[in-house]
Amino acid sequence: MRKTREQSRLETRERLISSAHAAIRREGIGGLSLRRLCDEAGYSQGAFYSNFASRDDLLLALMERHVLAEVETLRRLVEDTHGKVLDDVLETVAARLADLAKETEWSLLAIELQLHAQRDAHFADAYNAAKIAYHAEFALLVDEILRRHHLTPALPPLQIAIGLYALWSGLAVQGTVPGAGPRDEIFLAFLRAIIGGSPSQR
């Protein structure tokens, strides 16, 4: 079946995002060259600018794809804990967030985007809009846990989601420092304090 123009455009966009991901893993964001990226993906720079307004736009798209994929992973993990006690659910979420915080390529990308947003007001608008979307997706997941376990949390779901995202960013930046507890235990303590749950529920 012949591809439609929109299908071809989306395929080009995805290949450019995947090539950018590979380039960042290999050389870091500082080494991301649009010309080389297009060459490796097999497209002209004209094709790039037909899909992205700028390098920043590409980086935001890459981060968005990753964050939304992680939210979907968490959603599936939560679904798999259906019927289990709350603390099992919280441990599952905490463990996944801890694993995510270890992925330095994403934490570095988030940091660079945040710094760039503080220096460039135009980019800040797009970056903040993207973060609002991430927080909303996380909030839906939190709300599902709250409704399933009939909980009244210390904060609204959106604020919990914002706190989780900030905690993930902070722990990703922190890395491993002397005296710091395991990331999964820190996430679990936050979730228990804000959402509820304790080891005694077992």
pLDDT at 1 over 80: no
Does domain 1-52 match CATH 1.10.10? yes
The dihedral through the CA atoms of 19, 22, 27, 29 has a sign that is positive
Q: Hey, what are 4's tokens?
A: 């439609």
Domain ranges in the chain with CATH number 1.10.357.10: 55-201
pLDDT at 201 over 50: no
Q: State the pTM of this model.
A: 0.78
Q: How far is the C-alpha of 72 from the C-alpha of 140, rounded, in Å?
A: 11
Domain ranges in the chain with CATH number 1.10.10: 1-52
pLDDT at 167 over 80: yes
pLDDT digit string, tens, across residues 60-69: 898 888 888 8
Mean pLDDT of 46-60: 91
Does domain 55-201 match CATH 3.40.50.150? no
Percentage of the chain beyond pLDDT 90 is 40
Q: How far is the C-alpha of 78 from the C-alpha of 70, rounded, in Å?
A: 12
Mean pLDDT of 92-110: 82
